[in-house]
Structure 1
Amino acid sequence: MQRIAVLASGRGSNLQAIIDAISAGDLAAGIVGVFSDKPAAAALQRVAPELRWSADARAYPSREDFDADLADAVAACRPDWVVCAGYLRILGDAFVERFRDRLLNIHPSLLPKYPGLRTHARAIADGEREHGASVHFVIPELDAGNVIAQAVVPVLAGDDVDSLSARVLAVEHPLLVAVLRLAVSGRLAEQGTTISVDGHPLFTALRLDSAGVLHAHHVPGASPSVPV
């Protein structure tokens, strides 16, 4: 069974989606650790005490020092995949390199649009018609790694940050679980600058449909859907 480590800074709703999928038998994996830069993060309470690790990043003399302790703690649980699920600190180059090709992040925008923070407010301010979430491999550049899959929601007339955020969060959970199914089943890989699914290069991000199925569109040689 594949081993998943989760990094989280907040309430841990995406972590809970992973836990629920595992409990329901929909994700053949186990969570081997939850790690946070905020000792009071609610996400930590979603798992047993022996699976929790946290430290106040602000107490460290440098980001590199904190990242080194975090990386050692993550490595100690021997994860196959490391998932940033609402982890709000930028990971340094050394951490990213240590877990390269098995380090995933879920981000609340349709990357490459709106990396960083305040994604919902920026999408509304720009008059976007569509918004959503992306799961991507992590590289040292902020939210710039290869995008594996996305889920799209409409931006409605009268939307504010709260209403749009809730609509995006509702698709984040099935999106992350669907990507993790690919990952833990050995179907997803990153080779250099290319993502492959079932050994075939993925040239455009997969899209999640309303049934929670990932579809690959306009990919030469790929089938219209990727069942997960």
Structure 2
Amino acid sequence: MPAPLARPIVILISGSGSNMAALVEAARHGRWAARFGAGVVAVVSNRPGAAGLAWAREQGLATAVVDHQQHADREAFDAALMAAIDAHRPALVLLAGFMRILTPGFVRHYEGRLLNIHPSLLPAFPGLKTHQRAIETGCRFAGATVHRVTAELDHGEYLEQAVVPVLPGDTPEALAARVLTQEHLIYPRAVERLLAAG
């Protein structure tokens, strides 16, 4: 039985969890446990059917579901979500395709420890439908941003960005796929840099 990690990481997902998988693989291949005393210990989803949960279980990670539809309001959901996360005493909480707007109280609770990846070059296009908006606006470039989470949606210190071209005839789906390949690179890189900085 391996020793408990000094710096556990919890990842929140809502769907397939491709960024979650990229982070787990990066932790393994980058030897985060040996180098930083860090590693992913649990994956929590707000959707019982999230495909990423099965993959996480196959990797031997703890998983939990906190179904937002089972809670009366956002505050009640966030309180239950915090309880599920705090059971693992995380050094970092990583949002990876977690499709819920979090309350200011939740954000305050994890201040300095809460990161997100957003599929645009922030501050451009916060919120949803980023790829469609980039195409409709006539952007020549799009991308992704890893940032610290604050109470203001898709704001907070930018830790890493990647740029991809918007090609003639691009669809939102094609652009999203191109951006996603970069997300899988920059999210682990941003987290590793934070861990290395202590």
- Answer whether TM exceeds 0.5 for this pair: yes
Contact 1:34 1:52 in 2 (8 A): yes
Amino acid corresponding to residue 16 of structure 2 in structure 1: R
Structure 2 equivalent of residue 174 of structure 1: 185
Could you tell me how far 1:186 is from its partner in structure 2? 2.7
Query: Which runs of no fewer than 5 residues in structure 1 stay unpaired?
Result: 188-228
Mapping of 1:199-214 within 5 angstroms? none
The correspondence for 1:15, drawn from 14, 20, 24, is 20
For 1:135 and 1:76, locate their aligned partners in 2 and report how far apart those are by CA, in whole Å. Answer: 25
Uncovered stretches (5+) of structure 2, i.e. residues with no partner: none
Which of 42, 47, 62 in structure 2 is aligned with 1:38? 47
> What is residue 145 of structure 2 aligned with on the other side?
134
1:106 equivalent to 2:117? Answer yes
Give me the whole-angstrom Cα distance separating, in 1, the residues matched to 2:183 and 2:171: 18
Q: TM-score, normalised by structure 1?
A: 0.79
- CA deviation map 1:116-140 (0-9, x unaligned): 0000000000000110000000011
Using structure 2 for the length normalisation, give the TM-score.
Answer: 0.90
- The residue aligned with 2:67 is 56
Matches of 2:158 and 2:141, distance apart in 1 = 17
Note the 1:67-216 alignment, pairs <5 A.
67-187=78-198
SS of aligned partner of 2:197: coil
Give the structure with the higher percent strand: 1
Query: Does the 8 Å contact 1:60/1:66 carry over to 2?
Result: yes
Aligned length: 187
Greater RCO, CA 8 A, separation 6+: 2
* RMSD (Å), alpha carbons: 1.3
1:26 to partner: Cα distance: 5.1
CA contact (8 A) 1:27 1:177 kept: no
1:65 equivalent in structure 2: 76
- SS of the residue 2:169 aligns to: coil
Q: Deviations over 1:97-118 (max 9, x none)?
A: 0000010000000001000000
